[in-house]
């Protein structure tokens, strides 16, 4: 339903922040990194919690959807207004409100950029470990909304593990806080954890308190060639055991992706083979011990080339982060997926990806956070095509059969809700719907995302057809 006549005028008279419905303003927030295009009718730049409360109450009265947006880096359309309504733009909420070195906490506004926070913490000898590939652009609010991860989640876990408290406004226009500064609590089910990853469907986050850690003395990156015909899952386990507890990330790029990245800063990388990209954290002595152990076991492991060392691991992650963009520049937009399985099933998942690519006669590149069994296959196919839909459906269904998850870190958004009942089971989906009903009883917060649509008899849409308003497009980078 369009915004009722006169409703925007009433909203402008209510808020301290700006309300813009000019075509240029709407075009700038009509899509995100997924390529899915929505139909926003207004963009609001709120100023403070009173504006958030007033905005939600206005939306309830007017029956208008609200879609939270940070930097627009979401890969499954989470920040796109697929049902129209108002985009709530948090891009100006960029204050780091407090850093407490003694308690190792930071309180930030949702528009603070991920790596901006980490650089501010460095002055205090601290770090914020979650490092998604989009960390130089993506915001803490968006990271929390999607439970974003990155290479270091291998050791430190995803965003959810680092959130201590959320100050939010729910779908009734009520402001409240989930969690607190305390380090531990036994207060029943973890409502804070349920809010993390909720994709803006349960509340608008206005302030976020995160745990931070002591900054390691060193973070060193290592590039290893993978032996030919060696199963990847067992090889990862052997390398991890060899190098010891200091390993904080284990990434994979296949042969084709490695060749593309050679032109994006990896010119000295080994050629003609897939690669593991590894990070080691710790003191100089701990790092030296890990490298010595790797050198000792290199022959037994069959590692074909001398390891390539990056004294600053962040430089390695910057090169790795170019994978999607570099592949897009070579082959145009494609279907990039995000699935994860238990490590012992990793090679089976890789075989599924190869088989699907051959069956549909589509080239594919594979990279991802393999230390956690998380792959990002990128199929060179129009993401709006029937072939792309068939590839996604088959990949999701195979991943569930392998005991895995249809989303390792990108979220559900507007593309994967149809598979949630099969992934979680009907009782879990009912519980999620009940939580949604409690916190957003009017259904105004990011409708069409996360939860599957219900048919006339309460059934979800058929498997293979994503839910959501606009015809979905899948990320090309």
Do 167 and 73 sit in the same domain of this protein? no
Clarify whether residues 238 and 308 are in a common domain: yes
103 and 193 assigned to the same domain? yes
pLDDT reported for residue 328 = 72
Residues 178 and 223 in one domain: no
Distance CA 244, CA 10 (A): 61
List the CATH number of the domain containing 364: 3.30.70.2740
Residues 75 and 119 in one domain: no
Q: What are the CB-based long-range contacts (under 8 Å, 24+) for 330-333?
A: 330/260, 331/363, 331/380, 332/380, 332/476, 333/35, 333/382, 333/383, 333/476, 333/477
- Among 165, 181, 214, residue at a domain's last position: 214
Q: What is the CATH number of the domain that holds 151?
A: 3.30.465.10
Question: What's the token pair of residue 292?
Answer: 């010595």
200 & 109 share domain: yes
pLDDT value of position 322: 78
| Phi and psi, residue 337, nearest 5° | -110, 175
**311: exposed, middle or buried (C-beta count within 10 Å: 0-12, 13-18, 19+)?**
exposed
Q: Which pLDDT value is given to residue 455?
A: 54
**pLDDT reported for residue 249:** 97
Give 383's pLDDT tier (boundaries 50, 70, 90). Answer: confident
What is the pLDDT confidence band of residue 330, given thresholds at 50, 70 and 90?
confident
Query: Which residues, at least 6 apart from 276, have a Cβ–Cβ distance to it below 8 Å?
Result: 223, 224, 226, 235, 236, 239, 250, 251, 252, 370
* Same structural domain, 202 and 118: yes
Structural domain total, the chain: 4
Q: Is residue 453 part of a domain?
A: no
The model's confidence at residue 476, banded by pLDDT at 50, 70 and 90, is: very low
Residue 167 within a domain:
yes
Residues 140 and 223 in one domain: no
pLDDT tier at 313 (50, 70, 90 boundaries)? very high
Distances in Å between the alpha carbon of 386 and those of 29, 106, 281, 366? 27, 46, 44, 21
What integer pLDDT is reported at residue 460 of this predicted model? 39
What confidence score (pLDDT) does residue 265 get? Answer: 63
pLDDT at 269: 81
CATH number at residue 14: 3.30.43.10
Question: What are the tens digits of pLDDT across the range 232-268?
Answer: 999 999 999 999 999 999 999 999 999 888 766 656 7
pLDDT digits (tens, 9 = 90+) for 264-289: 665 678 888 999 999 999 999 999 99
Q: What are the tens digits of pLDDT across the range 133-184?
A: 899 999 999 999 999 999 999 999 999 999 999 999 999 999 999 999 999 9
Res. 28: pLDDT tops 50:
yes
| pLDDT at residue number 262 | 79
Judge whether 151 lies within some domain. yes
Give backbone dihedrals phi and psi of 195, rounded to 5 degrees, phi first.
Answer: -70, -35
Domain assignment present for residue 449? The answer is no
What range does the domain containing 402 cover? Answer: 333-410
Are 104 and 203 in a shared domain? Answer: yes
Taking only the tens place, the pLDDT of each residue in 69-110 is: 999 999 999 999 999 999 999 999 999 999 999 999 999 999
pTM value is: 0.92
Look at residues 381, 410, 439 and tell me which one is the last residue of a structural domain.
410
Chain-centroid distance of CA 65 in Å reads: 23
Indicate the residue among 164, 187, 214 that finishes a domain.
Answer: 214
Average pLDDT over residues 403-417: 96
Q: Is residue 431 part of a domain?
A: no
With respect to residue 391, please indicate whether it lies within any of the assigned structural domains: yes
Residue 460: inside a domain, yes or no? no
Residue 263 sits in a domain of what CATH number? Answer: 3.30.70.2190
What lies within 8 Å, CB to CB, of 54 at 6+ separation is: 14, 15, 173
Same domain as 72, residue 138: no
C-alpha pair distances (Å), 46 with each of 10, 18, 20, 333:
15, 7, 11, 34
Residue 430 included in any domain: no
pLDDT confidence bin for 453, thresholds 50/70/90: confident
Residues 71 and 137 in one domain: no
**Beta strand pairing status for 86-89 and 66-69?**
parallel
Please indicate, yes or no, whether residues 305 and 282 belong to a single structural domain of this protein.
yes
């Amino acid at each position: 339903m369009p915004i009722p006549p006169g409703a925007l005028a009433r909203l402008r008279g209510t808020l301290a922040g700006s309300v813009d419905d000019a075509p240029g303003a709407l075009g700038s927030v009509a899509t995100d990194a997924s390529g899915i295009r929505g139909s926003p009718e207004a963009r609001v730049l709120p100023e403070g919690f009173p504006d958030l409360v007033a905005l939600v109450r206005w939306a309830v009265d007017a029956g208008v959807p609200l879609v939270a947006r940070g930097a627009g880096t979401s890969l499954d359309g989470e920040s796109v207004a697929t049902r129209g309504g108002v985009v709530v733009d948090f891009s100006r909420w960029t204050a780091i409100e407090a850093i407490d070195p003694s308690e190792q906490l930071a309180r930030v506004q949702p528009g603070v950029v991920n790596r901006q926070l980490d650089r501010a913490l460095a002055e205090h000898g601290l770090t914020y470990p979650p490092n998604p590939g989009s960390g130089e652009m993506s915001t803490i609010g968006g990271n929390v909304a999607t439970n974003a991860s990155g290479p270091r989640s291998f050791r430190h876990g995803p965003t959810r593990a680092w959130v201590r408290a959320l100050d939010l406004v729910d779908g009734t226009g009520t402001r409240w806080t989930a969690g607190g500064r305390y380090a531990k609590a036994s207060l029943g089910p973890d409502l804070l954890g349920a809010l993390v990853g909720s994709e803006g469907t349960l509340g608008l986050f206005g302030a976020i308190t995160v745990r931070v850690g002591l900054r390691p003395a060193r973070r060193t990156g290592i590039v290893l060639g993978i032996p030919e015909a060696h199963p990847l899952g067992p090889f990862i386990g052997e390398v991890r055991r060899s190098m010891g507890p200091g390993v904080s990330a284990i990434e994979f790029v296949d042969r084709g992706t490695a060749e593309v990245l050679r032109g994006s800063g990896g010119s000295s990388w080994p050629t003609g083979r897939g690669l593991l990209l590894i990070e080691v954290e710790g003191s100089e002595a701990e790092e030296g011990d890990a490298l010595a152990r790797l050198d000792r076991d290199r022959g037994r492991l069959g590692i074909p080339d001398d390891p390539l060392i990056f004294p600053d691991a962040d430089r390695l992650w910057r090169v790795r982060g170019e994978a999607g963009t570099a592949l897009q520049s070579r082959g145009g937009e494609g279907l990039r997926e995000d699935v994860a399985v238990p490590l012992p099933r990793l090679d089976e998942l890789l075989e599924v990806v190869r088989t699907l690519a051959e069956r549909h006669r589509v080239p594919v590149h594979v990279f991802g956070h393999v230390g956690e069994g998380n792959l990002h296959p990128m199929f060179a196919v129009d993401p709006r095509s029937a072939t792309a839909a068939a590839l996604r459906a088959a990949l999701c269904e195979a991943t569930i059969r392998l005991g895995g998850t249809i989303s390792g870190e990108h979220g559900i958004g507007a593309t994967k809700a149809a598979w949630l009942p099969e992934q979680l089971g009907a009782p879990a989906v009912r519980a999620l719907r009940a939580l949604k009903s409690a916190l957003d009883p009017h259904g105004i917060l990011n409708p069409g995302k996360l939860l599957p649509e219900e048919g006339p008899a309460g059934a979800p849409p058929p498997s293979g057809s994503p839910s959501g308003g606009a015809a979905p497009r899948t990320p090309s980078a």
